[in-house]
Amino acid sequence: MKTTKQFSILMAIVLLSFSIISCKEELIPPSDDGVMLRNNTITLYVDTGSVNKDNLDSTCNFGQKKEVSNEDFTTLVQLDDEITWVGKSSSSPETDLVEINLVKYDGGKKILNKRKLRGDTKVVGKVENGNKDDVEKYKIKFTVFNNGIRRGKYKIDPKLQIN
């Protein structure tokens, strides 16, 4: 009798657990021009051997689909997210550097904690303002070093959107 009662309780717990898991709301995937923030890091990939002011869209990206420009690229964030912007060389990651120096408000709803966020190699900020679907356009200013030589300073202007 005791074994039957224990088995019944165990089965009830398993069924209850399964129903809770199966009733959870599914995540809505981001649009084709946006990506959900993962690990609170936005990584800018730069072809450090080829980048110049005239080819930023073809030599810099955030890992988005090729048909999405850097200007149209949108990162989906949540209120209270702390975000770190970092740069990486896509051509010579062992020897070349991409230093993120500034993230600056450039239009739309101001959702980050400051208009200008500064750093030496990376920049950290926090999503503090806004409502669902609010969009902030911002500029990332970064410096590229190729084989130890400063190749130049560049800027691109993606977006953040509250999800």
CA Rg value for the chain: 22
Model pTM? 0.78
Mean pLDDT of 5-22: 48
Mean pLDDT of the chain: 85
Reported CATH class of domain 29-162: mainly beta
Band of pLDDT at residue 15, cut at 50, 70 and 90: very low
pLDDT at 39: 74
pLDDT single digits (tens) 71-101: 999 999 999 999 999 999 999 999 999 999 9
For residue 48, pLDDT beyond 90: yes
Q: If you write DSSP's letter for every residue of 25-74 in order, what string do you get?
A: PPPPPPPTTEEE--TTEEEEEE-TTT--TT-HHHHEESS--TTS-TTT-E
Give the pLDDT of residue 17. 43
Question: Domain coordinates of the chain in residue numbers?
Answer: 29-162
Residue 143 has pLDDT above 80, yes or no: yes
Percent of the chain, pLDDT > 70? 78
Comparison of pLDDT for 140 and 15, the residue scoring more: 140
